[in-house]
Amino acid sequence: PQDHPLRAIRAIVDRALAQMDSHFSTMYSSYGRPSIPPEFLLRALLLQVFYSIRSERQLMEQLNDNLLFRWFVGLGMDDDVWVPTVFSKNRDRLLDHGTVRECFRSVLEQARYRDLLSEEHFSVDGTLLEAWASQKSFQLKDPEDREGAGSDFRGQSRSNETQASVTDPDARLYKKAP
């Protein structure tokens, strides 16, 4: 629809990406297999955030099925969608080169210039947030104790003092109990 919020967001993102053309050219070689265009990757990452899509696999399924998502990213109706692992590897390249940070900085700057930001305070219900850590990502902090420990913690006491997540260092063990 003409009044869909993604239309305004895409216009801002397009301006930000246009300013980054020289940055993109330094990241990619002129020979070898063609990569996923970084503009497409950045737009797909935005959709993942906006719509709380939990994994690259689910994001690729949405891109395959959802015409709005295809339009926002820049894919045609008949274009092939990427394999999740290829998307992940290319996403890591963007993160390593600071591209994501630069793009978001530019989008934020445009939003600030157009007076689209608010200083109004808001709160988030933390019970609805999910960490990037699963129970199995918690490993013993001491590397010597970790050898041979595996991921079976049955019968062992676990605590934040002895274990930490290897995927999300800020994650903490928490138990909902009286």
CB-based contacts of 70: which residues, under 8 Å, 6+ apart? 63, 76, 77, 79
Q: What is the DSSP string of 85-130?
A: HHHHHHHHHHHHTTHHHHHHHHHHHHHHHTT----------GGG--
The per-residue pLDDT for 146 is: 60
The per-residue pLDDT for 173 is: 80
pLDDT tens for 24-74 read 777 766 777 767 888 898 999 889 988 889 888 999 999 999 999 999 999
- Asked if 162 and 140 count as a contact pair (C-beta separation under 8 A), the reply is yes
The ranges assigned to domains in the chain are 5-113, 134-178
CB-based contacts of 21: which residues, under 8 Å, 6+ apart? none
List of the chain residues with pLDDT < 70:
28-29, 34, 122-133, 143, 145-153, 178
